[in-house]
């Protein structure tokens, strides 16, 4: 589907909808708090200042990358609350209301470019957009009730030091956030004496720890290598990297011998043991070796030389195993042909190998 952000006249997303959560009945909200160390926080704010980006824009980029990794899409949409009204609305001067709205935010990624370069354009698009439509109206225009399943909230409260002043006549002892999310997954960015990222999530989000670790990983990479193209970013967490390393650790120490040598050695050790069996035939290792050797001799007499390719068109059977063993004994390689293929396809496969070898 296609939607437009507010009333800017621009399409928001061609495939809007949930990105990383499985729909489930409402459940209790859980929290995961991520506290940035002082050095990382300082470098993040410095990066925002030098690149002319707001903290909100940078966090939208990082949250969008999180959803992109989770969904496998380079075009993602999430919700973000907007406070205040930038457009001219008749009678707004007389309104005593909380002027806040939740709007869909679209982020599209070009993996060949650095993230900050793309966020500069993203910020300019947001500044130029208007805010005359609410979420309900956007959903109605889009023709769907669910445009996103995650929310990003970047708090931007004014300086609270005056409220916390112990000598003030009216003072506030403490400020706590207790606004639980209506969405399966929400990230709150809470500036203060120390920048805090608070992840609120429901039962359908089963990997909150991994999401938090990946978010911190992306943030650290953005600060340390801001001009690195996205294709060169490390997206896997340490646990995921360890899993990939373990899965791909398939190296096995092999004996210094060929397959036909191994078969010959096994035939010498257990000549009468069962080697091959199908619905029609049963062969011992001795008989298997004898028949394979006879066929190998016939192939050599027919002109097969080491390095040649011999086409084999046989169903899975004892005869197929004998044929493959004989080809190896002749020093050749085999080209398996599926006899269920059309004749034209089989002829093409043979022709390609004849020309390519």
pLDDT one-digit tens code per residue, 43-78: 999 999 999 999 999 999 999 999 999 888 999 989
Average pLDDT over residues 141-168: 70
Tokens of 257: 């011998």
pLDDT value of position 99: 63
pLDDT value of position 86: 55
pLDDT value of position 83: 72
Of 178, 192, 77, nearest to 135 (Cα)?
Answer: 77
Q: What is the dihedral of CA 228, 232, 236, 238, to 10 degrees?
A: -80
Output 252 or 115, whichever has higher pLDDT. 115
pLDDT value of position 105: 87
pLDDT value of position 126: 75
Give the model's confidence band at 101: pLDDT under 50 very low, under 70 low, under 90 confident, else very high: confident
φ/ψ of residue 185, rounded to 5: -145, 125
Shared fold status for 30-243 and 259-356? no
Q: How far is CA 5 from CA 105, 139, 250, in A?
A: 7, 10, 49
Residue partners of 98: CB distance under 8 A and separation at least 6: none
pLDDT value of position 116: 94
How many angstroms separate the first and last alpha carbons of the chain? Answer: 50
What per-residue string of b and e applies to 201-226 under the rule 16 or more CB within 10 Å gives b? bbebbeebeebbbbbbbbbebbbeee
Q: How far is CA 227 from CA 59, 215, 221, 326, in A?
A: 17, 18, 10, 59
φ/ψ of residue 304, rounded to 5: -70, 130
- Specify the pTM: 0.62
In this structure, which topology does domain 259-356 adopt according to CATH?
Rossmann fold (3.40.50)
What string of H, E and C letters represents the secondary structure of the chain?
A: CCCECCCCCCECCCCCCCCCCCCCCCCCCEEEEEECCHHHHHHHHHHHHHHCCCHHHHHHHHHHHHHHHHHCCCEEEEEEEEECCCCCCCCHHHCCCCCEEEEEEEEECCCCCEHHHHHHHHHHHHHHCCCCCCHHHHHHHHCCCCCCCEEEEECCCCCCCCCCCCCCCCCCCCCCCCCCCCCCEEEEEECCCCCEEEEEECCCCCCHHHHHHHHHHHHHHHHHCCCCEHHHCCCCCHHHHHHHHHHCCCCCCCCCCCHHHHHHHHHHHCCCCEEEECCCCEEEHHHHHHHHHHHHHHHHHCCCCCCCEEEECCCCCHHHHHHHHHHHHCCCEEEECCCCCCHHHHHHHHHHHHHHC
pLDDT value of position 319: 95
Residues above pLDDT 90, as percent of the chain: 48
Highest mean pLDDT among 23-27, 33-37, 175-179, 297-301: 297-301
Q: What would the pLDDT profile of 72-100 be if each residue is shown by its tens digit?
A: 899 998 988 877 655 566 666 666 656 66
Domains of the chain, residue spans = 30-243, 259-356
Of 80, 149, 106, nearest to 2 (Cα)?
Answer: 106
Q: What would the pLDDT profile of 269-324 be if each residue is shown by its tens digit?
A: 999 999 999 999 999 999 999 999 999 999 999 999 999 999 999 999 999 999 99
Of 44, 18, 352, nearest to 197 (Cα)?
Answer: 44
Q: Rounded to an integer, what distance in angstroms lies between the CA atom of residue 3 and that of residue 12?
A: 5
Residue partners of 236: CB distance under 8 A and separation at least 6: 244
Average pLDDT over residues 250-274: 89
pLDDT value of position 324: 95
In this structure, CATH architecture of domain 30-243:
2-Layer Sandwich (3.30)
**What rounded mean pLDDT belongs to the chain?**
82
């Amino acid at each position: 589907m296609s939607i437009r952000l507010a009333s800017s006249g621009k399409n928001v997303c061609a495939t809007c909808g949930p990105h990383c959560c499985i729909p489930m009945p409402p459940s209790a909200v859980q929290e995961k708090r991520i506290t940035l160390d002082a050095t990382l926080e300082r470098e993040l704010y410095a990066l925002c200042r030098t690149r002319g980006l707001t903290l909100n824009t940078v966090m939208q980029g990082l949250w969008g990358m999180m959803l992109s990794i989770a969904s496998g899409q380079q075009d993602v949409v999430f919700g973000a609350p907007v406070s205040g009204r930038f457009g001219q609305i008749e009678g707004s001067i007389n309104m005593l209301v909380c002027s806040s709205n939740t709007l869909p935010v679209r982020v599209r990624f070009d993996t060949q470019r650095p993230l900050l370069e793309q966020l500069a354009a993203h910020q300019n698009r947001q500044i130029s957009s208007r805010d005359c439509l609410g979420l309900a109206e956007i959903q109605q225009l889009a023709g769907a009730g669910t445009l996103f399943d995650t929310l990003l909230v970047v708090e931007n409260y004014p300086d609270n030091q005056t409220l916390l002043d112990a000598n003030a006549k009216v003072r506030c002892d403490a400020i706590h956030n207790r606004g639980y999310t209506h969405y399966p997954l929400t990230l709150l960015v809470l500036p203060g004496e120390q920048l805090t990222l608070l992840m609120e999530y429901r039962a359908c989000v089963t990997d909150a720890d991994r999401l938090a670790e990946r978010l911190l990983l992306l943030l650290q990479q953005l600060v340390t290598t801001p001009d690195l193209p996205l294709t060169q970013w490390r997206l896997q967490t340490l646990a995921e990297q360890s899993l990939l390393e373990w899965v791909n650790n398939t190296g096995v120490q092999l004996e210094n011998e060929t397959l036909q040598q191994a078969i010959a050695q096994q035939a010498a050790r257990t000549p009468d043991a069962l080697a091959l069996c199908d619905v029609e035939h049963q062969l011992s290792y001795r008989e298997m070796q004898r028949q394979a050797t006879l066929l190998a001799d016939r192939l050599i007499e027919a002109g097969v030389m080491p390095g040649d390719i011999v086409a084999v068109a046989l169903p899975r059977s004892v005869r197929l195993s004998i044929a493959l063993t004989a080809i190896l004994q002749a020093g050749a390689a085999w080209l398996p042909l599926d006899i269920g293929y059309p004749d034209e396809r089989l002829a093409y496969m043979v022709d390609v190998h004849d020309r390519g070898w």
